[in-house]
Structure 1
Amino acid sequence: MQNELKSLLDAIAKQTDLSAEATDLLMSQAFAMTKTPEERREAGAYLTEAISKRKRPDVDVREMLGDVAEALNLSYIAKRYFNKDRTWLYQRLNHAMVNGKPASFTESELKRLSDSLDELSNKIHQISIQLTH
């Protein structure tokens, strides 16, 4: 992949505050730089991977969880859904300094956390139904 194309894709992936129109324009410019269908696929895969690894310090999961955090076993979530220890999860929830930077979730980690909370809520809901029937 061309260095210029790779640089543009990296710039797109790093920007979390772009409007849909601005993102579309940048992506059109990037994909116009590709010469073959294989290069276009490679660029698409590269952008997808880069976005999934993008850090999201703007998302405050701790605040979103609010009082619910006290009812959750965050150690269980860290181990079961991320195969990490609770310290890893707490660092991201509290934006703790790790290697000189505030820890934050990546896009893919936020998706995994969302899916884990959804799975847990479904399990709790099923138990609730069973208790009343």
Structure 2
Amino acid sequence: AAQNDVPAAELGAATSVLSFFRSMGGTIGTSVLGAILANRVATETAKGMETAGIPAGGGAGGSAHGVPDMSTLPEPVRAIIEHAYGVATADLFLIATPCALLALITVVFLKEKPLKTTSGMERLA
């Protein structure tokens, strides 16, 4: 649709700008949601460990900043980690859903334009 709104001489620039901003949007969205996931997992894990009376870092099975090997964890720690990832993933969907609905509403209100039937070269001639 954006390519249909620009003159044929600017078609390449319009296409590249559209691709750039689409990529940037995906990158920023992934980064933000990834940061939220990491924060929520850390928070929920710490809360679960405290509730279970397990000292911080106890039974983590590796580095404190990595994803643990779940098969090597003791059962209570594994349950806490699984719960933390479940809660964090649910929170991501709660955050992403309004953004997706806003995008859907925006798309619904975009003005529809009929596609041109001539190619860029024909329009330049």
**Smaller-chain TM-score bracket:** 0.3 to 0.5
* Structure of greater Rg: 2
TM-score for the superposition, normalised by structure 1: 0.32
TM-score for the superposition, normalised by structure 2: 0.34
RCO higher in structure (CA 8 A, sep ≥6): 2
